[in-house]
Amino acid sequence: MLSSGTVEGKPKPRSKAVVHTRRVVVRTTTKQPGKRQKSGVTKRVVIKKVVITKKAAKPVSPAVLRKLPLGGTIFYLASGHGGPDPGAIGKFGKSLLPEDEYAYDVTIRLADLLKKQGATVFMLVQDPNDGIRDDAVLKLDHDEVAYPHQVIPLNQTARLDQTTTAVNKLYASHKAAYQRFITIHVDSRSQGQTIDVFFYHHSNSPVGKRLASHIHQRFQANYKRHQPARPYSGKVSTRNTLYVVKNSHPPTVFIELGNIQNRLDQRRFLLASNRLALASWMMQGIIDDYRSRGKLP
């Protein structure tokens, strides 16, 4: 279980601002005791008013992006379910916790972090209204679309085929040496079962296994650092039967974030700082994997 204050990494850079100082003159009339208002004394008060105008951030040039830790890499990110299918539904008091909303929030946070490190990112599920949200309870909606602007079908096989088809076409159209597909889900089990973050890959993909292992190692290290008294039980294993793992062409990692029915696991999703920590630790493992490319075990 994560907790607030476990997020690592540099703070978000602040936008540069231009400061303008303006002098504002205010005249007031003060009535003296025992005299009529016409004989009042006029005071001249000068107030300095500061106006701050934020400058729009300049786009980063391709040359600068290539020099960043993940410059030249391409990632395909898919959050589980979406559109007409919210996935698993947990309950927190009277509130509903939809799998697709929490998986999407962690995924879009990961996309943001990867782009800041120079990566090109394709979001396979997109919500036109929902960006990164810091609310505990994320409102359920059904307006998500599939990349590039497709309606998400309700049928599970059709939806999964839609995702893998888009990923495989993008993978074939790009020549980057480092292309990876990461799909993020939230599991649903009995309320009493607490689970950690699990990672799945195809048995015939040593590259996928390496990526999953690097992310897993970061989770182990961060849990040991932030919660040394709590053992971490998350595993890396093969799941060839998972549709996207079986049918996607780029090296693929399927991530389960926890049990949305379990009260302890729910803290991993309800706290925005924890959702950011999940994305941050994934990114750390991805950078480790990229730096070790070409060194398969």
Of 266, 273, 285, whose CA–CA distance to 1 is shortest? Answer: 266
> Mean of the pLDDT values across residues 86-114?
97
Query: What pLDDT score does 64 carry?
Result: 77
- Contact by Cβ (8 Å): 103, 77: no
CB 143 within 8 A of CB 129: yes
Q: Could you tell me the pTM of the whole model?
A: 0.80
As a whole number of angstroms, the distance between CA 297 and CA 97 comes to: 40
Question: What does the pLDDT look like over 278-288, one tens digit per residue?
Answer: 999 999 999 99
Burial degree of 117 (CB within 10 A; 0-12, 13-18, 19+): middle
Among the residue ranges 33-47, 69-83, 84-98, 171-185, the one predicted with the least confidence is 33-47
Q: How far is CA 48 from CA 21, 42, 101, 223, in A?
A: 7, 20, 47, 51
The label of the residue with tokens 């990110």 reads: 77
Mean model confidence pLDDT for the chain: 85
pLDDT in tens, 147-194: 999 999 999 999 999 999 999 999 999 988 899 999 999 999 998 999
pLDDT of residue 272: 98
For the ranges 5-9, 100-104, 182-186, the lowest mean pLDDT is seen at 5-9
Cβ-based burial of 130 (10 A; exposed 0-12, middle 13-18, buried ≥19): middle
The share of the chain scoring above pLDDT 90, in percent, equals 73
Is the pLDDT at 290 greater than 90? The verdict is yes
Q: Where is mean pLDDT largest: 22-36, 37-51, 255-269?
A: 255-269
123: how many CB neighbours lie within 10 A of its CB?
18
Q: Supply the pLDDT for residue 22.
A: 46
Average pLDDT rounded to a whole number, residues 123-150 = 96
pLDDT computed for residue 14 by the predictor? 40
* pLDDT (0 to 100) of residue 56: 52
Q: Which ranges of 87-152 does DSSP label H, i.e. alpha helix?
A: 99-116
Q: For residues 4 and 134, what is the distance between their CA atoms, to the nearest angstrom?
A: 12
pLDDT reported for residue 5? 35
